Structure 1
Amino acid sequence: MPKSEKQKMLAGELYMAADPELAADAARAQDWMARYNAAPAQSAEDRHALLVAGLGHVGAGVTVRAPFHCDYGYNIRLDDGVFLNFGCIILDVVTVRIGTGTQIGPGVQILTADHPRDATARAQMLEFGRPVVIGRNVWIGGGAIILPGVTIGDDAIVGAGSVVTRDVPAGTTVVGNPARASAVTANSI
């Protein structure tokens, strides 16, 4: 039996994003984001319940400041104590996992959606996803962009405005475009 476009997407294979099943999932996510982004004055418990309803996994003590945007929501896993500041975007065509105690600054983009390098395949509106894993106790500065397939190790720091194109080892500070290891101290990021 052939795979559905959603099954292909979740497996990281080439798929058609305009597929009706995926369009329906994206519409549900849009409805959820409208409710969540309109709820900043609600209690912490109510906001947490909304997060649980819209995302794949939400641990205890998670804070996501509105506005927040994502593709589907169900591929996002936020462990205990994760903090996402205003204006974060997560394109979650495959899994995005963010570890316990990680802090993410405003305007950060975490991208799993990728496109074929071959122009003919791109013209067919095909895309694929590569998972992003962010470890425990990571600090990602405002405006950083995390590209598809990147893993950021525990206790790492990503400087504000950095574009992370490659894996970041645990305990490493990276800055720049493309992000590279730096001896920069946390006070200067």
Structure 2
Amino acid sequence: MTEKQKMLAGKLYDPGEPELAKMRQIARQKTEKFNRTSHNESQKRVDIIKSLFGSTGQNIHIEPSFRCDYGRNIHVGENFYANFDCVILDVAEVRFGNNCLLAPQVGIYTATHPLLPHERNSGLELAKQITIGDNCWIGGHATINPGVQLGDNVVVASGAVVTKSFGDNVVIGGNPAKVIKELPINE
């Protein structure tokens, strides 16, 4: 397996491998260009994001500043919106369904490190995919940790730290996040 294949498979990989370093460099150049755009250059912003992400719906809007590791591992559905200062560490895939909204300063992190010091000190890393369903709203300063899956119609309260997966139709919040309220099922 290549280091990229290991990375995407959730196995320990070497982030210093030249292909991965080049991919990160390209993503940083595109995000730098995106973050320098003017508020009246909305089509230019869309074009940059569509060239950066793995896939998008037609309707996508992201406010600067935006940061990511690779970009190619981010997949968003229709009607995606991310407010100011969003960070998506897309070492593994990050998938959003349709109609997802991210408030300011949301952090979505697939990247992680070995727990044992001798493994962590080796410089090897790993990542776990994150999946967000349809009609989700993630509140300001919320953090989504590696490996989390959120179902459809999930609301994540501001400041929540989501460390585990949750099913459909819930409001979650706290640190670590837990179910605060169940939402009525759509009719």
- What range is the shorter-chain TM-score in? over 0.9
Structure 1 48/70 Cα, relative in aligned 2: closer, same or farther at 3 Å? same
Residue in structure 2 matched with residue 58 of structure 1 by the alignment: 56
Task: Give 1:60 deviation, angstroms.
Answer: 1.2
Residue in structure 1 matched with residue 163 of structure 2 by the alignment: 165
Distance 1:184 1:13 in 2: 35
Q: Secondary structure at the match of 1:94?
A: coil
Residue in structure 1 matched with residue 140 of structure 2 by the alignment: 142
Residue in structure 1 matched with residue 4 of structure 2 by the alignment: 6
Determine if contact 1:40/1:65 at 8 Å carries over to the other structure: no
Residue in structure 1 matched with residue 44 of structure 2 by the alignment: 46
Q: Deviation per CA, 1:105-162, whole angstroms, max 9, x where unpaired?
A: 1000000011111211111011111000001110110000000000011001100000
Distance 1:164 1:66 in 2: 24
Distance 1:103 1:173 in 2: 14
**Which stretch has the larger CA shift, 37-46 or 53-62?**
37-46
Residue in structure 2 matched with residue 88 of structure 1 by the alignment: 86
Distance 1:183 1:58 in 2: 30
Residue in structure 1 matched with residue 17 of structure 2 by the alignment: 19
Residue in structure 1 matched with residue 125 of structure 2 by the alignment: 127
Superposition CA RMSD, Å: 1.3
Structure 1: any 5+ residue segments left out of the alignment?
A: none
Structure 2: any 5+ residue segments left out of the alignment?
A: none
Question: Percent of pairs identical after alignment?
Answer: 38
Residue in structure 2 matched with residue 182 of structure 1 by the alignment: 180
**Which stretch has the larger CA shift, 69-78 or 114-123?**
114-123
Determine if contact 1:40/1:66 at 8 Å carries over to the other structure: no
Determine if contact 1:135/1:152 at 8 Å carries over to the other structure: yes
**Which stretch has the larger CA shift, 34-43 or 3-12?**
34-43
| Alignment length (residue pairs) | 183
Distance 1:48 1:172 in 2: 31
Q: Deviation per CA, 1:16-45, whole angstroms, max 9, x where unpaired?
A: 111121111111111001111111334332
User: TM-score with structure 1 length normalisation?
Assistant: 0.93
Distance 1:24 1:44 in 2: 27
User: TM-score with structure 2 length normalisation?
Assistant: 0.94
